[in-house]
Each structure stands twice: as structure tokens, then as C-alpha cells.
Chains A and B, each alone.
Chain A
Amino acid sequence: MSLESRSARQWLISLPSLAWLAVFFVIPAILVIITAFRPADLQGGVGPGWTLATLREVQDPAYLPILWRTLWLSGATTVVCLALALPVAFQMARAGQRMRQVLLLLVVIPFLSNFLIRIFAWKSLLHPEGPLTKLLIGLHLIPENAVLLNHVGTVLLVLVYTQLPFAILPLYAAAEKFDFGLLDAARDLEAGPWRAFSTVFVPGVRRGIISAAVMVFVCCLGQYVIPQMVGGTSDEMLGSKIAQRVFSDRNLPHASALAGGLMLAVLVPMVVIVLWQQFGRKEAE
């Protein structure tokens, strides 16, 4: 088979998934951006003609603290997830074949129950009358009147909880290919265990780190259920605002402008990272 016909065949095989992506992702995304330039009508639909008024509306300075909170919560979630997932991926990759499969199963087990149910479980767990709050008060670890729920820290905690598997899986995939003999070499060359980990293992799985970081950060940006369920009234994220514009205000263009802006804010850096990675790979060869 010639090279050309082979690549043609590969294209043909990936056609269904490409079509799926085009129909259910690319086209809707473009529609969202187009909607941002249409006027809103009073029935919650989209009026005729074109307008730039929505773009001016979303520049409302009231969005700035929400945008900032969204960014730092997503950033903090990413950092915490990576910090937790790196040692887990390290241990999983070093474990024996059987142990590995058990650990992998444990990582994906949370997905077996519904996302909303798991968030709701946190809500009852952290409730003032809930078991965790009572236990911590009983142990005098927190004051009597402490409220664990409806706090920005709670949002961060639950975000980390939901995103952790998405950090562990790509890191594990990278760690599995890592040559652990390199750690022996590092130890041999006067590096202590921690320095061997940070100077040899971490750079060795950097592609996994990039994938995990992008995965976690992007998923966090769009979250609205978590801040709404476990956060307080002042812990809204941009996703909460988009949901509010769609469901309460019934202003589709406004929601579209926010969503489109967020989408571009994610997409542009990602394209940059992908290009940079591609460049880095070429350089390494």
C-alpha cells in the first residue's frame, strides 16, 4: 500500500469522529459566537439584525472579580491536583502489575456514580449537622460555630475532588513510560530522594503534566454546579453567571458573549501550548 493511500485510509477511518466533532462541537461553538452579535428579544430568544451592544455589556466591571475568582480557583485547583496526582502517578507506575490495575480501578470508581450525587454527598458531609463537621468539632479541631459549607475554600475542595482523576490519568500514562532507572542514576549522582524526584521524574513526565494541567484548568473554568451547590453567594464563578444569564435572565446573546469569551480565552493559550509542544518535540529529535 502506498503512503498516500494509507493516509487517505486513516482519514477515512477518523471521518465519523471528525463529523461528530464538527456537528456537535465546532458548529455549536460558532453558533454561540454568532449569537453574541445578535440582539436579545424579550421572550428569551434571539432578535433580528446584528448588534455590538452585548459586547459592551459584558465589559461591565462587575464581571472582573468573578473572572478573577474563576481564574484563581481554576489555577489553584490545577496546582493542588498536580501536587496530589504526581506522587500518586509515581507510585502507580512503580507498583506491580496487579496493584496497578487495582489502583487504576480505584481512581475511576468515582465516575460510576453521578456527578451531581457526588457533589450532593459533599454538601451533606460538610453540612453543619453533617458527620464531618460534628467529628471535627468533637475533636476540637474547629470552633463550635464553624461552618464548612458555603465558603470559597469548600468550592476549591470539591473542585479538587472532582478533577483529581483527570490529573492522575494523564500523569500515570506518562509515568508508566518513564525509565525509573534514571532515578537510580540521579541517586547515584548525589541527589537525595526528593531532588531525584523533582529534577528527574518531574521533567521526565512533563508532557503528562501539561496534559493534566490543561485538562483540569479548562474543566474548572466552566464549572457552575459546584460553586452553586457548595459555595456561598459571593463565590460565583463565570460559569455561574453564564447559567444565570441563560436560565434566569433568558438573555442568550449575553450568555453567548460570556461563553464565547471564555472559550476563546481557553482555546488561544491551548493552541499556543500545542504549537510549543510540537516545536519542543522537533527540537528534542
Chain B
Amino acid sequence: MEDFLVIDHVSKTFGAQRAVDDVALTVAQGESFSLLGPSGCGKTTLLRMIAGFEQPDRGRILVGGRDITSLPPEQRPVNTVFQNYALFPHLSVWENIAFGLRMSRRSREEIRSGVERMLELVRLSEHARKRPAQLSGGQRQRVAIARALVNRPQVLLLDEPLAALDLKLRQHMLMELNTIHEQVGTTFIYVTHDQGEAMSLSDRIAVMNAGKVEQVDSPENLYETPRSSFVASFIGDANFFSGVVVEVQHEGYVRVLVDGLGSPLVLSNGAVSANQTLRLMVRPEKISLTLTRPSSGERVNAFRGVVEDMAYFGAHTRYRIRAGEHSILAQLQRSRFSGGEIDPARGAEVWMSFHPDEGRVVRLEAAA
């Protein structure tokens, strides 16, 4: 993979706060990439440094091999779709899209054809003469995208592009953004705090926490093999158990002694040694519930517990199950009843089980 956008060990401090702490990332040309994290994790600051609105204290930013760290925003091959769209209220849709072309002093013909091309891309040709105030949220969003793409940037930054839209429109715009990305082929960098948005929009995601990048990976890998408990809990739900390694098996499995749950077998997910203290992670939907102990051999981890609470979500049902010290979250798909699973009531005694491949070892964090 060619490194097109390079964030080379960038740091930025505001007062006493380290907003971005030694972040190093590379993004390939044409890739759809997300910076994901809770508010205050530094993702917006990083975006503003790529756009040129903030100067990094340390580190460099390169696009296509060119160092753009010291360039002002207007000289960067980067354009931005702002969170609140920042459309010029005194200009029509047409003039908003034409703005970038006018500022770079293109010919009248280039401006006209550029704007028409963009209006077609975002399907707003019939609204060209309207003012931003006369448009719906989704339409404004599309104007903002067209306006940012008209100068054919090498990198398009999108700051929480869907945050201002309601749920239905958001789902629609998700598809639309993917379509636009496919059509223009530009590198898209999303900034979002919404893991669902990041997962469905991007090829790869950088999960950020407290100014640092926790993990950069494909959505699938982030979900299935999170490297830290922060990533595991930020993307989807997770059950965590602390334990001590009692046995390191071949093929990357380890047996971990967890207080009150016996010693489940899980994938080690990296180098571990005996007697090491670590954390296990199991996703709620990986846990099966049965009335009797599952009998499918020793490669199944099974524990007994009592259903404390349950919540019906239509497509699935969630259970909170008490097992000694532990409170475990399990999620059942209603269609899986045929698989011998049960529909336990509150207070019922059940067996929880998960396959060793579904358990993960995650990094032990001092704070978590």
C-alpha cells in the first residue's frame, strides 16, 4: 500500500493539555479512513492540522510525498466538509460550489463546467439557485460535499459529516457518501465519534483516545480482535474479565484463571507467558445460553449464572447474568432459537458458553 497521506509523529498541546500526542498514521491514496474516538480524544485537532487551521508543535504532515506542514489552508491540496457545513449564507448553492474555483482564479468556462459536474454528482442541479437557508439538512450536506470536492482535492476531510442529520437521513447519506467516494476516488478522511458510522464508511479506522492512536485496523479486525480494552469497549459492547495465565497451549491458546469462572481457554492474541496477569474480552453476542451444561467437548468455556435483567430489542434480546462477582452481558438473536437455545426469564439459572476462538486477550491498561 502506497503511503499517500502521512502523519509523521505529530503532537499538539493546548495549554497544559496534550490534544494530540505523537500520532503517526499513513493513509493510502483513494482510501476511506476514519479517525474515531470520544469527544476530546484529539481527532478534531488532528483534522484541523491536516486542513491547516492548526500548526503541529512537533511532527510533519505529508500529502503525496510533499511536506505541507507549514502551508496555509488555502495552499493545501486538502478540502474540508465542516461539521455544521459552514455554507456561505449570502451565496446561492451554485455560487457556494463555485467559490473554490473562483478563489483559485479559474476561467469562466472552467467554473461553469466544474459547478455543473458537482451539482450532478450530488444531484442538486434543480436547486442551484437556492440559498442554503432554503435547503433541507441532507441537501446542505450535499452542497458542502460538492463545494469541497470542486477543486479536486487530493484529500477530502469530513468532520462529523452525519452528526447534524436525523437517523433515517443519516442511513441514507451513509450510502450516498460511499457512492460519492467510489465515483471520485479521492482519499476520504472521516472524523467521527460514532463507531457505527466509522465502521460502515471506512476501509480502515484509527481509534483515538486521550490524544493517542490506540489501534489502526479494518472495521472487522477492530471488532473481532481489539488490542486494548478501550478499543473493545468503544467499538461494540464487551465483557471483560481479569485473570492469570495458568497454561500456554500450542496454536496460540491460553488457559486463564478467572476468579469465580474457572479457567476458560481463549486465543492469546499475541505473546503471553505463564503467570501473567491479563484481561479477557468476550462480545455479548458470542455467548450462548442453555439450560444444561453444553456437552460439545472440552473446547467450550461454560459457566453457570442467574439472569438478573433482560431487555427486548426486537431483533435481539440482551441479558444481564450474574455469576458470582461477575455481571455478564449476553445477546441472543431471536432467530437462533432453533439452535437449541432458550428464552430464560428473570431469575432463571442458565449456562453461558463461548468457543475459545471467540474469547480475546486484550492489553491490560493501568487506568482501565
Residues of chain A whose beta carbon lies under 8 Å from any beta carbon of chain B: 179, 181-182, 184-193, 195, 199-200, 203-204, 206, 284-285
- A179, A188, A193, A199: residue with the most chain B Cβ atoms closer than 10 Å: A188
Take A181-B84, A188-B74, A188-B79 as given contacts and tell me if A204 and B103 are in contact as well, using a CB distance cutoff of 8 Å.
no
Are B99's CB and A284's CB within 8 A? no
Which of A182, A192, A200 contacts B74, CB < 8 Å? A192
Take A185-B82, A284-B131 as given contacts and tell me if A200 and B100 are in contact as well, using a CB distance cutoff of 8 Å.
no
Which of A179, A188, A203, A284 contacts B73, CB < 8 Å? A188
Take A186-B99, A190-B104, A284-B131 as given contacts and tell me if A204 and B151 are in contact as well, using a CB distance cutoff of 8 Å.
no
Shortest Cβ distance from B147 into chain A, in angstroms?
Answer: 7
Which of A192, A195, A203, A284 contacts B133, CB < 8 Å? A284
Q: Is B209 an interface residue (CB 8 A)?
A: no
User: Can you name 26 A-B pairs with beta carbons within 8 Å?
Assistant: A181-B82, A184-B51, A184-B86, A185-B80, A185-B86, A185-B88, A186-B103, A187-B53, A188-B73, A188-B74, A188-B78, A188-B80, A189-B74, A189-B79, A189-B100, A189-B147, A189-B148, A189-B151, A190-B74, A190-B104, A192-B74, A199-B99, A204-B89, A204-B90, A284-B89, A285-B134
Residues of chain A within 8 A (CB-CB) of B79 are: 188-189
Q: Is B262 an interface residue (CB 8 A)?
A: no
Q: Mark B87-112, 1 if CB is under 8 A from A, else 0.
A: 11110000000011001100000000
Please name the 4 residue pairs, one residue from A and one from B, whose CB atoms are nearest each other, closest first.
A189-B100, A185-B86, A190-B103, A187-B73
Residues of chain B within 8 A (CB-CB) of A195 are: 103
Are B86's CB and A179's CB within 8 A? yes
Q: Is B196 an interface residue (CB 8 A)?
A: no
Distance of A38 Cα from B241 Cα, bound (Å)? 101
Q: Is B72 an interface residue (CB 8 A)?
A: yes
Within 8 A of A (CB), among B116-174: 131, 133-134, 147-148, 151
Residues of chain A within 8 A (CB-CB) of B99 are: 186, 189, 191, 199
Which of B53, B103, B133 contacts A189, CB < 8 Å? B103
Residues of chain B within 8 A (CB-CB) of A199 are: 99, 103
Residues of chain A within 8 A (CB-CB) of B75 are: 190
Distance of A200 Cα from B96 Cα, bound (Å)? 11
Are B88's CB and A184's CB within 8 A? no
Residues of chain A within 8 A (CB-CB) of B84 are: 181
Take A181-B86, A200-B88 as given contacts and tell me if A191 and B133 are in contact as well, using a CB distance cutoff of 8 Å.
no
Residues of chain A within 8 A (CB-CB) of B134 are: 285
Distance of A47 Cα from B131 Cα, bound (Å)? 60
17 A-B pairs besides A185-B86, A189-B100, A190-B100 with CB distance below 8 A are A181-B86, A184-B86, A186-B88, A188-B74, A188-B148, A189-B74, A189-B99, A189-B103, A189-B151, A190-B151, A191-B99, A193-B72, A199-B99, A199-B103, A284-B131, A284-B133, A285-B134
Q: Which residue in chain A gives the minimum CB-CB distance to B153?
A: A188
Shortest Cβ distance from A79 into chain B, in angstroms?
Answer: 22
Distance of A206 Cα from B51 Cα, bound (Å)? 29
Distance of A200 Cα from B90 Cα, bound (Å)? 8
- B51, B78, B100: residue with the most chain A Cβ atoms closer than 10 Å: B100
Are A206's CB and B103's CB within 8 A? no
Residues of chain B within 8 A (CB-CB) of A188 are: 51-52, 73-74, 78-80, 148
Shortest Cβ distance from B54 into chain A, in angstroms?
Answer: 11
Shortest Cβ distance from A84 into chain B, in angstroms?
Answer: 23
- A187, A190, A199: residue with the most chain B Cβ atoms closer than 10 Å: A190
Which of B53, B74, B86 contacts A191, CB < 8 Å? B74
Residues of chain A within 8 A (CB-CB) of B104 are: 190
Distance of A186 Cα from B151 Cα, bound (Å)? 13
Shortest Cβ distance from B77 into chain A, in angstroms?
Answer: 10
Distance of A182 Cα from B91 Cα, bound (Å)? 12
Residues of chain B within 8 A (CB-CB) of A284 are: 89, 131, 133
Residues of chain A within 8 A (CB-CB) of B88 are: 182, 185-186, 200, 203
Shortest Cβ distance from B45 into chain A, in angstroms?
Answer: 14
Shortest Cβ distance from B118 into chain A, in angstroms?
Answer: 13
Take A181-B82, A182-B86, A204-B89 as given contacts and tell me if A187 and B133 are in contact as well, using a CB distance cutoff of 8 Å.
no
Shortest Cβ distance from A26 into chain B, in angstroms?
Answer: 35
Q: Which residue in chain B gives the minimum CB-CB distance to A181?
A: B86
Are B72's CB and A187's CB within 8 A? yes
Within 8 A of A (CB), among B154-210: none
Residues of chain A within 8 A (CB-CB) of B73 are: 184, 187-188
Q: Which residue in chain B gives the minimum CB-CB distance to A187?
A: B73
